[in-house]
Amino acid sequence: MTVEKTDILVAGGGVAGLMAAMSFAQIGYSVICVDPSPPVSDRGDERADLRSTAFLMPAVEMMQEVALWPLLAPHAAELRVMRLCDSGGVENGIREQVDFDAAEIGYERFGWNIPNWALRDTMIGHAERFETLDLRMGRAVKSMLARTNAARITLDDGARIEAKLVIAADGRNSLIREILDIPSRTTRYGQKGIVFAARHPEPHDGISTELHRTGGPFTLVPLPDEGGAHRSAIVWMETGPNVADLMALDDDAFSAAATQRSCNILGPLQVEGGRRSWPIISQQAESLIGARTALIAEAAHVMPPIGAQGLNTSFADIRALIDAAGRNGIGSEQMLDDYAQARQRDITLRERGVEVLNRAALTDAQPLRDLRRSGLRLLGGLAPLRHAAIRRGMGLG
């Protein structure tokens, strides 16, 4: 069988892999992107992934660069304010809140929130239009042999490909990471996140609210109105046994429990379209690079869904890869070192920030819950500290 040659092979056509593939194709590299999921038209329930993703402005700018943004804008809800609340008192109610307003640092908005089902399908449709991008849905990487001058990849249909650079975007259980023998550290919190969308009588006004109480944060993120109803995407983080109890409730009982946990800030919540639970973990690969290979997104780092950091960190990986490719030869040792150096510190800082917030939310002891409240009050009162936190959270340095 002949060996196909390409500049870049992207393993994984999730949101991060597709974005990397489009960004490199846009600047003229030949790219093959493979993913074992079936093509969009062959999938059953188009709204099966109930998650949504809050994209911060640096990520939105990357989507604009590949002309993807106009296609996604109709599905997007604006995020103007991120509100952090402490509801960890003895009574169920908000004890302290601090608003991070994009206007405080001269931005109209932090970003936009998009349901995952709309995101992935739109991205796949758009990726098919790039001349130098060969998208192979329904195909997986089976093996790889990476040498200093190129990487040889075999797909599950027997196709053999030689690439100057392999981008491993094949998720938290990355096969490429395993082939390269790169260990990863995993932290389990005994938590799960219940993901669902809900209708509510009060408008969200572009405010994303994180309510911290024992068990984990309860986060409401704006969705666009539909059929005249106000809607939000919700991630409810809780300890495993509590999640099992909540998942066993019928929709009406679950909606009532969610309304209570939300401190009723948007009025009674009515869950729509089902719910799913996701395990909450942190994971970090011990190296971001191997011969001719760069690890990005969840293949490199997984973090709890707090502060919209997960995929936005992944987009920052892609930006750093493009910059490193511009300064060095594609896939060269210098390029890969450059990439690893540019990303390691930022990834670690973001992971630590999310970890601290999650541990603070998990804590059961009342004195520690009161300490969390004091921390919020301090942040609310000190504008420079708050502005620094906003800029850091948005990935603006």
Ligand X SMILES: Cc1cc2nc3c(=O)[nH]c(=O)nc-3n(C[C@H](O)[C@H](O)[C@H](O)COP(=O)(O)OP(=O)(O)OC[C@H]3O[C@@H](n4cnc5c(N)ncnc54)[C@H](O)[C@@H]3O)c2cc1C
> Is 34 near ligand X (CB under 6 A)?
yes
Contact segment (CB under 6 A) with ligand X among 103-111, 144-152, 170-178, 358-366 equals 170-178
> Is 13 near ligand X (CB under 6 A)?
yes
> Is 12 near ligand X (CB under 6 A)?
yes
Q: What's the rounded Cα separation, in Å, for the pair 297 and 243?
A: 27
Q: What's the rounded Cα separation, in Å, for the pair 46 and 365?
A: 43
Q: String of b and e for 169-194 (b: at least 16 CB within 10 Å)?
A: bbbbebbbbebbebebeeeebebbbb
Among 6, 7, 9, 17, binds ligand X (CB under 6 A): 17
CA atoms within 13 A on the CB side of 87: 22
What tokens were used for 64? 């604009």
Among 115, 216, 290, 310, binds ligand X (CB under 6 A): 310
Helices 57-65, 15-26: crossing angle, 10 deg rounding: 50
Residue 223 pairs with which residues in a beta bridge? Answer: 231
Closer to ligand X at the Cβ: 30 or 314? 314
Total binding residues for ligand X by CB under 6 A? 32
Q: What's the rounded Cα separation, in Å, for the pair 151 and 17?
A: 18
Among 4, 26, 36, 323, binds ligand X (CB under 6 A): 36
SS3 category, 262: coil
Nearest approach, Cβ of residue 378 and ligand X (Å): 26
What tokens were used for 222? 């704006």
Among 63, 163, 297, 354, binds ligand X (CB under 6 A): 297
Closer to ligand X at the Cβ: 223 or 335? 223
> Is 97 near ligand X (CB under 6 A)?
no
Among 51, 75, 136, 377, binds ligand X (CB under 6 A): 51
> Is 141 near ligand X (CB under 6 A)?
yes
Tell me the per-residue interface mask from 187 to 216 with ligand X, x by CB under 6 A, - otherwise.
------x-x---------------------
Q: What's the rounded Cα separation, in Å, for the pair 235 and 198?
A: 11
Closer to ligand X at the Cβ: 134 or 298? 298
Question: Is the separation of the CB atoms in 3 and 153 below 8 Å?
Answer: no
Output the CA torsion 294→298→303→307 (10° steps). 90
Nearest approach, Cβ of residue 297 and ligand X (Å): 3
Nearest approach, Cβ of residue 235 and ligand X (Å): 5
Among 8, 9, 11, 180, binds ligand X (CB under 6 A): 11
Nearest approach, Cβ of residue 36 and ligand X (Å): 5
Give pairs for 264-269: CB < 8 Å, separation 24+.
Answer: 265/94, 265/202, 265/209, 265/211, 265/220, 266/200, 266/201, 266/202, 266/204, 266/220, 266/230, 266/232, 267/200, 267/201, 267/202, 268/200, 268/201, 269/198, 269/199, 269/200, 269/234
Closer to ligand X at the Cβ: 127 or 175? 175
Among 8, 167, 246, 311, binds ligand X (CB under 6 A): 311
Closer to ligand X at the Cβ: 17 or 216? 17
> Is 284 near ligand X (CB under 6 A)?
no
Residues interacting with ligand X, by CB under 6 A? 11-17, 34-37, 51, 53-54, 140-141, 169-171, 175, 193, 195, 235, 278, 297-298, 305, 308, 310-312, 314
